[in-house]
A and B are shown apart, each in its own frame.
Chain A
Amino acid sequence: MRLAPRQLQRSGMTGNVPYYGGRLAPAQAYAVGHTPPQPPQPPQPAESAEPPSRLATPANPQQTMTSLRQLRDDGLLSETEFTDLAARLST
């Protein structure tokens, strides 16, 4: 019987293994330069002297590009992956 192979997600015994072949997965590399949206912070009391959360700071594209270059130079990103992520950064 002819068999048309189906694509399956790779997984490990204890769950999905995001790091593969000694390289960062594209999703991980993307996450390096993209801070996930943070849940809304509860209102601070007026007298609070705490500085604003660093997590709320929007990603700095220049810093992200530097991180991507570093990942490429370290061999964790291929030239193609770097180009792709850099293009996304500029959009």
Chain B
Amino acid sequence: MTSPVQVLVIGFDEPQFSGEALAELARLKDAGIVQLVDLLVVERTAGGELQTLPSPGVLGPGAGDIAVALLAESSEQPASPTRGDVNGFWSLAEAIPAGSMAVVALIEHLWAEPLAASVRKAGGRALEETWLALDDLDRLTQLRSDR
């Protein structure tokens, strides 16, 4: 796997798995744009403990296993030192508020691999990477319509 993989953590009060989002991801996979690597449903108790919940049945057996192996400490390995006070690191514990539920999706951006490779080849390095906020999106839309 060489394409960039995004970790998308989405909070829900009560997740409703209609299959609509998965159908869209399937369409994007068929188009060679993105691929859902794995999906994990987790709950963080009021006490702060994270618990995995059953993944949507449509994903089949083993769903969530890769995400757990990637995002959680292995019982066979010593726990990594806490680096929460060091910027540049993150964990599900910091992303998911206590007393809430979240879906964690590992999304491989197939379209981005050639772009990322060409940037690396050119010696480029990322200085900032973010998404535009809704207000800025509105402004962008206005700017584009004014052209």
Which A residues fall within an 8 A CB radius of B? 1-10, 12-21, 25-27
**A-B residue pairs in contact (CB < 8 Å), sample of 7:** A10-B90, A13-B6, A13-B126, A14-B124, A17-B128, A19-B127, A20-B87
**Complex CA distance for A11 and B88, rounded to whole angstroms:** 8
Q: How many residues of B contact A (CB 8 A)?
A: 38
Residues of A within 8 A of B71 (CB): 3, 5-6, 8
Q: Does B51 sit at the interface, judged by CB under 8 A?
A: yes
**Other than the known A10-B90, A15-B125, what 9 A-B pairs have Cβ atoms closer than 8 Å?**
A2-B49, A5-B91, A6-B91, A10-B88, A12-B126, A13-B4, A13-B6, A13-B129, A17-B127
Residues of A within 8 A of B66 (CB): none
**Complex CA distance for A9 and B117, rounded to whole angstroms:** 20
